[in-house]
């Protein structure tokens, strides 16, 4: 390893050691996962055994399901107050952007019927493999 061009401190064989992972490095995804897992478990969520990218919170009749896809987090619950509370708690640890109710999740359209508290999902692609059409 050598110092970057234009950066000369000490001898040319000395380099800086990173104390924090940076976006774009190979270990960034692992560090993000460790940090997110630490925060969610501290908040009372537990990772389900069948899928390590899904967390569940169950307490006092409130259930929140949190699927994670890379750095996208979705909170699903029958309690809007619980979702608001945990969005606020997450924003204390991370820069968050609340995009409102989920319309699409991993290529699936999500539709809600608030009168029956049911949700339905519909794939938004069809046709031959390799071709995707969006509605």
Going from N- to C-terminal start, the domains of the chain cover 28-100
Distances (CA, A) of 105 to 19, 27, 76, 85, 111: 35, 26, 12, 22, 11
Helix, strand, or coil here: 124? coil
**Run means of pLDDT, 10 residues per run, the chain, 135 residues:** 68 68 72 92 94 92 90 86 91 86 78 64 50 42
pLDDT, position 63: 93
pLDDT, position 55: 95
pLDDT, position 100: 81
Helix, strand, or coil here: 47? strand
pLDDT, position 123: 53
pLDDT, position 44: 94
pTM above 0.75, yes or no: no
* 62's tokens: 């409130």
Say which residue the tokens 């692609």 belong to: 125
pLDDT, position 96: 84
For the purposes of burial, counting CB atoms within 10 Å of the CB of 117, is it exposed (0-12), middle (13-18) or buried (19 or more)? exposed
pLDDT, position 128: 47
Nearest to 100 by CA among 84, 124, 115, 122: 84
């Amino acid at each position: 390893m050598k110092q970057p061009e234009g950066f000369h401190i000490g001898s040319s064989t000395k380099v800086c050691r990173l104390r924090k992972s940076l976006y774009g490095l190979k270990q960034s995804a692992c560090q993000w996962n460790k940090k997110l897992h630490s925060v969610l478990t501290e908040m009372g969520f537990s990772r389900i055994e069948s899928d390590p990218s899904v967390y569940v919170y169950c307490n006092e009749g409130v259930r929140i399901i949190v699927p994670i896809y890379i750095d996208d987090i979705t909170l699903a619950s029958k309690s809007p107050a619980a979702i608001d509370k945990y969005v606020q708690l997450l924003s204390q640890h991370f820069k968050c952007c609340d995009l409102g109710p989920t319309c699409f999740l991993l290529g699936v359209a999500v539709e809600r019927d608030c009168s029956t508290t049911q949700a339905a999902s519909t794939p938004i692609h069809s046709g031959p493999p390799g071709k995707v059409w969006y509605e």
